[in-house]
A and B are shown apart, each in its own frame.
Chain A
């Protein structure tokens, strides 16, 4: 089912954006594009109930959803492998089993707080895709990655979005990573 934003006003304190009325289909890739402070993160946080909407409503978003943002998905003291066991067991409630992402095998025994920011983000993105969430909400997922990894993960996310819904925030300067066919939602159009 599509996710509908119905006259959604969002914000925190004096920072307010909206109202937004928009509909995301149940699969595909959507970019929330805008400069710092335009409300991309606020919108994503409102979608996952971390911030209450100021008015309006979000309909059709079903949990569980895969999220990635400024806060890490991984327990700091645990190795990547142990984090995977934990997260995949939490997720296994509804589907059968998930395979550890092969591209992360080299990092399996490393405690997550020893990983660089870029590697940690790659691990998180690989895990989220391997866990097969119907919806991924990603806040600037490619920001800490090097150029080669950005291209690699942009392609992986596009492929993932053929069967799932991926909503991610990004800056205007990074939109060249994505084909022109990818739908964009400009946060600057919001007051």
Chain B
């Protein structure tokens, strides 16, 4: 497991560098949405929509930086030569994505409270969503981060968006229509599906990156 510890340490360093820009991005987007709102209260952007939009874009910037070290150094083949199991690489990235997304979700919620007062949503529900929602996205994000290393941004539209959209819709429903159990189950199902799917697809994309 020492190799897994080395991967975690490497990814930790990478994610420390990505959390700052992601927070700045989500804050800027919330500000922009707030400032450019229609003056008519009937047409105001709901705080739930503002949160979902800023979190979606900010999380992309986190995913884009996944495997940044390997990509800059062009040394994906080291993992193959060193016989490092793919699941360790995926799990390490997913765990660090989870940590970063929890921090990002918590901070974006906090900024949303400030920009959209008064706020009357249950804090315990917010805390639960800040933990649970990133769990659904973390493995997908690791997969997306890997796919983007080959400059195939079209994969973002045809694979990541269809998989991530139900998760964001579920989050929006939970935020706007109360904490209904059905949507929690939907999110939980997607956490399982996205985890399994990422596990199986990850290996193919990783092998492709080690080949010419």
Name A69's closest neighbour in chain B (CB-CB): B77
A86/B10 in contact, CB under 8 A: yes
Given contacts A72-B73, A75-B69, A86-B10, whether A66 and B81 have CB atoms under 8 Å apart is: yes
CB distance from B77 to the nearest CB of A (A): 6
A76-B72 contact given A45-B212, A49-B210, A50-B211, CB 8 Å threshold: yes
In the assembled complex, B110 has its CB within 8 A of some CB on chain A: no
Q: A48-B77, A50-B212, A86-B6 are in contact. Are A63 and B69 (CB under 8 A)?
A: no
* B1-21 residues at the A interface, CB under 8 angstroms: 1-3, 5-7, 9-10
What B residues does A156 contact at CB under 8 A? none
B74 touches A93 (CB 8 A): no
Residue contact B69 to A90, C-beta cutoff 8 Å: no
B35: interface (CB < 8 Å): no
- In contact, A12 and B74 (Cβ under 8 angstroms): no
Residues in B with CB closer than 8 Å to A72 are 73-75
Contacts A87-B82, A89-B9 given; 7 further ones with Cβ under 8 A?
A: A48-B81, A50-B77, A50-B210, A86-B9, A90-B79, A90-B82, A91-B3
Q: Is the CB of A90 within 8 A of B73?
A: no
Alpha-carbon distance A78/B9, docked complex (angstroms): 13
Contact with A along B109-144 (1 / 0, CB 8 A): 000000000000000000000000000000000000
| CB-CB contacts below 8 Å: A43-81 with B | 45, 48-52, 63-67, 71-78
Where the two chains meet, the residues of B that have a C-beta atom closer than 8 Å to any C-beta of A are: 1-3, 5-7, 9-10, 69-70, 72-75, 77-84, 210-212
Q: Does A92 contact B (CB under 8 A)?
A: yes
Q: Do A89 and B2 touch across chains, with their CB atoms under 8 A apart?
A: yes
Q: How far is the CA of A50 from the CA of B2 in the complex (A)?
A: 26
Residue of B nearest to A68 (CB): B81
A66 neighbours in B (Cβ, 8 Å): 81
Q: Complex Cα distance A72/B72, Å?
A: 11
The interface residues of chain B, by DSSP majority, are classed as helix
With both beta carbons as reference points, the residue of chain A lying nearest to B211 in the complex is identified as: A50
Measured between beta carbons, the chain B residues less than 8 angstroms from A52 are 211
Residues of A within 8 A of B (CB): 12, 45, 48-52, 63-67, 71-78, 85-87, 89-93
Q: Which of B1, B6, B81, B211 contacts A67 (CB 8 A)?
A: B81
Chain A residues, CB < 8 A from B81: 48, 63-67
How near does chain B come to A63, taking the closest CB pair, in angstroms?
4
Which residues on the B side are within 8 Å of A48 (C-beta)? 77, 80-81
Task: Report whether A63 and B73 are in contact in the complex, using a CB–CB cutoff of 8 Å.
Answer: no
A172 to chain B, nearest CB (A): 26
Residues on B with beta carbons closer than 8 Å to the beta carbon of A64: 81-83
Per CB-CB distance, the 3 closest pairs between chain A and chain B, nearest first, are A89-B6, A63-B83, A64-B83
Which residues of the partner chain B approach A87 to less than 8 Å between Cβ atoms? 78, 82
On chain B, the residues within 8 Å of A45 by CB distance are 212
The 22 sampled A-B contact pairs (Cβ below 8 Å) are A48-B80, A50-B77, A51-B212, A63-B83, A66-B81, A67-B81, A73-B75, A73-B78, A74-B73, A74-B75, A75-B69, A76-B73, A77-B72, A78-B69, A86-B9, A86-B10, A89-B2, A89-B6, A90-B6, A91-B3, A93-B1, A93-B2
A45 to B80, CA, bound (A): 12
* Contact (A12, B212) CB under 8 Å given A67-B77, A76-B72, A90-B82: yes
Which residues of A sit under 8 angstroms from B72, Cβ to Cβ? 75-77
User: Distance in Å from the Cβ of B191 to the closest Cβ of chain A?
Assistant: 29
